Structure 1
């Protein structure tokens, strides 16, 4: 993850008790500087311009400056460094694996997980030593919520498919090539999934292993972003049958469109805010033109016979659940929450 972060100013550069250190503390009290970590400061104006993920990454830099060179950024902090999705970007302590420790050490600012760590599990991200995405996914799945684990592993499976070139071609515009594309993505993702499952089988201790295995089996490479991962989780909790994702439809004239979720003959589209607010995604179109194009696409999808009803939801619907449930009810999608564990268990560890 490459980010343009503002420079940190360290009091220790001139001695914490020097005039320079005293001046930094004085400017922090006045609000000119923000104290990122004891002895590490940044301009308050620069700090306020950063989003929560960037603020955490800058905090990681400040913390690592005072730790042993063997410490490796891990867990939630590695998620931030790799640019993986999270339910809530890290706002708490920085997580590292410290090979010099034999037990976890927790403070308000730093969580030091005990080592050792295999050198093959370490990569460099923006000059910092970080657990690679596979190790990060395993650690995240074992220690975070089920939702955060799924968000992370969904992204890791999709990245594996991207690295394998599965999404490089834009020529998939007939049913045969679309089916071949799905098979390739699923095969690559399954290989990546099995590597995670094998890692879990070798992982020391038992803490979080059951949840992590569920995450690995539940995850999909078809979620294009964290919002779609959360929407799929919501569908699971509401009790729909397992949806197909990113399904491509065709008619006599060729490619019609791709639907985010297809449950039986019902299609559900997840509308991220960027679709209407981001100029790059709108490709120069005004929002009203985007809406008009969407309606024309929906009419053609319905005429194609691939789906009989199309519903839409957004991040608020997913977070609140009830609006999403109402949309699904209006689409005549059955909801059976008590059966979802059986219906969504096609994979085996």
Structure 2
């Protein structure tokens, strides 16, 4: 060989499989079939002139092994990434509106003791209005914020549901491609082993063909095997990540439902308290807007409360119980908001 001759690089060592193996398991019959196909395909190289176009053409077929699956999986990954903005926006919105809801709840918290049942006094001496009236004035003023926060959480919930539907569709389309890619990985591995064996057998009888086999067919098979193993690892990781995102979405949806339900329960308690303690008809009518937005549960409870408590006056002991119930309801809201916020932070850390 002269100094100007170019010698193709020798094939590198066979790529190692991940310790855990492929998550897409192939049954024994499929493995046997692929091994037989690889044996037949590799054996055909022995009878072909190593410098003929046919030899190069068959070697090119090895480089194209699994190319369809790789392209489709890449397209799937791009389509999944295109939804990232919507998903991130929904999760961020959950955090933002949780903070809004928490601020409103803290502002409306009746506090401790029986202060709501005591009259106000100017300079600590002269009666100056009713604490309950003042409290429900604050409640009435906050209705718009409550309605907006619940509506925004509901919108984020819908986006997360839509995201889960899309994820399920992506996963359903990805799994058959992973199974097909697993066959390509298996096939390229068998070709690698078979070409290695054939080249060793040809070393004594036809070293020129053995060298040509190593520098083309074996090189292509080994390189393709490594590429397909890498693609399989990336695709499996993406598939698993979609499952994690789907689970996190489900937990966030549950948290939104719980936070909304406990907020509605607090509204119901406030309606009863407004009806029975202060006879605030205006508050009841205005809370109807939140009731309509929140759902039929609050509507039925508000109607039952209005029907059952019309004209009913509580004595001081019963009033104290109503105020305690109101405090407990808002404590439930705070707990639910905290729980949902924790789920939101856990979801971010998991990703």
TM-score using structure 1 length: 0.20
The structure that is helix-richer by fraction is: 2
TM-score using structure 2 length: 0.20
